[in-house]
Amino acid sequence: MTTFTITVQDQAVMQALAKLSARVGNMAPYLQALGEDIVERSKARFDSSSGPDGQAWKAYSPVTLGLMRTRRGGGSRKLLVDTGALQRQIVATVQGTNALRVSAAQQYAAIHQFGGMAGRGRRVKIPARPFLPVRADGSLHPQEQALVLATLQEFLLDGV
């Protein structure tokens, strides 16, 4: 299985997490709730066929559509939902008491998230169709950052 890791380098989110951490002894329940929100939004992107920035994903190429038509069972023509495995396997896991990991277990998750060359001989260009909220440089998409910060602010205001 191929894996990739991106560490979020968002200062505003890190500061909000530090404030929350200073108030609570165990961050795990808060991180789990935050992770579940992120997973829910990530999975919803498969229904809307759009990224965390609201931009529609690039359509399948005519070649890909042709291959899908000839495949046994046909599969879904909805972007990135052939069998649904990629969408189903997005999960949030709290690691220890202060780390949250949101991951997609499918080996092809990274190529769809960031785009790039794939296939035999790396001759097929796959456009980026981001479904996770993070960019390759570790920053969150602004819309996702606002949602994460709002959730953390809610935790702080709820008398933690």
More confident residue, 65 or 117: 117
pLDDT at 44: 95
Round to whole Å and give the CA distance between 103 and 109.
Answer: 9
Residue 64 has pLDDT above 90, yes or no: no
- Please tell me the pTM assigned to this model: 0.85
| CA quadruple 76, 78, 79, 83: dihedral, nearest 10 | -30
Tell me the mean pLDDT in the region 21-31: 88
- Which of 3-7, 123-127, 136-140, 150-154 comes out lowest in average pLDDT? 3-7
C-alpha distance from residue 150 to each of 53, 130, 147 (Å):
17, 22, 5
Q: What is the pLDDT of residues 109-126, one digit of tens each?
A: 999 999 999 888 888 899
Dist CA 138 CA 37 (whole Å): 19
Compute the average pLDDT of residues 62-84: 72
CA distance 116 to 140: 20
Rounded Cα distance, 125 and 111, in Å:
10
Rg (alpha carbons) of the chain, rounded to whole number: 18
**Residue closest to 134 by CA, chosen among 100, 95, 98, 106:** 100
Share of the chain above pLDDT 70, in %: 91
- Dihedral of alpha carbons 103, 109, 112, 116, sign: positive
Packing angle, helices 142-157 and 11-23, rounded to 10: 20
Would the CA dihedral through 7, 10, 15, 19 be positive or negative? negative
pLDDT tier at 6 (50, 70, 90 boundaries)?
low
